[in-house]
């Protein structure tokens, strides 16, 4: 995770803020915007990253 500090979604360069636990796929590290959308799917659990709180305030 440390080597990749940007959202794992294609064409997104925002900083990661959330780890999504996806039961049917690999976990993803995404920005807050993608977490709001992708976290609404059944079975997906959004786990905010504690060290990303400062990034969310900018």
Which residues, at least 6 apart from 3, have a Cβ–Cβ distance to it below 8 Å? Answer: none
What is the spatial distance between Cα 20 and Cα 44, in angstroms, rounded to a whole number? 7
Tens of pLDDT, residue by residue over 29-38, are: 999 999 999 9
21 neighbors 27 (Cβ within 8 angstroms): yes
Tens of pLDDT, residue by residue over 11-25, are: 999 999 999 999 999
- DSSP three-state, residue 49: coil
Q: What is the pTM of this model?
A: 0.76
Label residue 1 by pLDDT band (50, 70, 90): very low
Q: Tell me which residue of 1, 58, 57 sits closest to 29, measured CA to CA.
A: 1
20 neighbors 27 (Cβ within 8 angstroms): yes
């Amino acid at each position: 995770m440390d080597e990749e500090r940007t959202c794992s979604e294609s064409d997104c360069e925002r900083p990661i803020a959330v780890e999504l636990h996806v039961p049917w796929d690999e976990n993803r590290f995404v920005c807050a915007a993608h977490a709001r959308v992708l976290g609404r799917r059944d079975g997906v659990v959004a786990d905010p990253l504690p060290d990303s709180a400062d990034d969310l305030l900018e």
